[in-house]
Amino acid sequence: MITTKSIPKIKKLLGKSKRNRKIIGFVPTMGALHKGHLSLIDKAKKESNFLVVSIFINPLQFGPSEDFKKYPRNIKKDKKLLKKHGVNLLFYPQADKIYTPDFSTFVQEKEISKKLCGKSRPGHFQGVTTIVTKLFNIVEPDLSYFGQKDYQQALIIKKIVKDLNFAAKIKIAPIVREKDKLALSSRNAYLNKKERKESRAIYQALFQAKKMVKDKEKNPKKIIKEMKKIIEKKPTAKIDYIEIRKAKNLEKIRKIKGKIFIGVAVYFGKTRLIDNIIIQSKT
C-alpha cells in the first residue's frame, strides 16, 4: 500500500492508473476505522482494480460546539487494517494543505441539505460537499462508496455528482451493526456503559416502525409516536428528530407509500447518534 499526504503525488500516481485503464474505486473516511468502513472498502475492492481510501477529519463539517478536537484518531491501526484489506493507496492529507489560509470556495447543495441533520447541524453538509468535491477532483474516482448509515449525506453526494457532472458513480452500502443492532460508528466510543446499553432503543424503535409498516399502518404520525415512546423510556436519551420521508429525496409524506426512509437522531448523554432503515411498503 502506498501512503501519501501529497496532492501532486497522488495526482501523478492516479493519472498513471487512469492511463493504464484501471477502474479507480474510492472510499472517503475520517479514520478510526471499524467494520462499517471496512464493508465499504471490501465492496470497493471487488468492484474496482485500484482502490484509494482517504483519511481526513474534515474541520469544515464540524460545528463550533461539536467534537472535532476529541474525534477518535488511530492512524497506526487504520493503516494496518487498510493494508490487510488490499487498499492500494492511502491518501492522508494535512489540513493546511487541504484548506490553505486563503481558502474561500465552498460547495453547497441547497435542497436535501436543508432537512433533518441539516437543520440540527447548520453548515455540516456544506462542509461535507466541499471536501468531497475537493477529494473527487484530487482522486478522480470511477466509483465511490458511501454508507447508508449516513443516508442523507449519500443522497446529497449523489445530487452534487448529478448537478456538477462528476464522473464518479456513487454506490451506497448497507449499515453494519453491532450484535445488539446498534449501528457501528466512531462516535459509539464516547458512550458510557449506561448510555451504550440504552442506545439499543434506537434499533428497537426502528424495528417497531418496520413491523407497523408491515402490518399496513399508513399513518406516519402513529408510527413516530410509538417510536418516541420506546426511546423516551431511556433516561439518558434525548430525541433530536424522528422522521419518515420519501426515500428518493427525503420529502415529507402524509401516507406510507412506496419506498420510505425512517430516520432517527438521538442524543445519549452528549453523544448524538443517527440511524435509519429504508423500507419498500407494499402499497
Residues that bind ligand AMP (CB under 6 A): 29-30, 36-37, 39-40, 146-147, 149-150, 173, 175-176, 183-186
CB of 278 to ligand AMP, least distance (A): 13
Residue among 253 and 278 whose Cβ is closer to ligand AMP: 278
The one-letter amino acid code at 39 reads S
37 part of the active site = yes
- Nearest by Cα to 264 from 120, 97, 124: 120
CB of 195 to ligand AMP, least distance (A): 18
CB of 174 to ligand AMP, least distance (A): 7
Residue among 55 and 205 whose Cβ is closer to ligand AMP: 55
Alpha helix stretches (DSSP H) within the chain:
7-19, 35-47, 75-84, 95-98, 116-120, 124-139, 151-163, 193-198, 200-214, 220-232
- Under a CB-based contact definition with an 8 Å cutoff, are residues 19 and 47 in contact? no
Alpha-carbon dihedral angle through residues 226, 248, 60, 264, given to the nearest 10 degrees: 10
| Catalytic option among 34, 37, 85, 124 | 37
123 burial class (0-12, 13-18, 19+ CB within 10 angstroms)?
A: middle
- Position of cell 474561500? 104
CB of 149 to ligand AMP, least distance (A): 4
Residue 59 has which C-alpha cell?
A: 474541520
Residue among 30 and 209 whose Cβ is closer to ligand AMP: 30
Residue 40 has which C-alpha cell?
A: 465499504
Residue among 81 and 223 whose Cβ is closer to ligand AMP: 81
User: CA angle, 62 as apex, 58 and 63 as ends, to 5°?
Assistant: 155
CB of 184 to ligand AMP, least distance (A): 4
Residue among 48 and 186 whose Cβ is closer to ligand AMP: 186
Question: What is the Cα–Cα distance from 26 to 167, expressed in whole angstroms?
Answer: 12
Residue among 36 and 220 whose Cβ is closer to ligand AMP: 36
* Per-residue exposure over 194-220, b if at least 16 CB sit within 10 Å of its own CB, e if not: ebbebbebbbbbbeebeebbeeeeeeb
CB of 30 to ligand AMP, least distance (A): 4
Question: What is the Cα–Cα distance from 82 to 188, expressed in whole angstroms?
Answer: 21
Positions marked active-site: 37
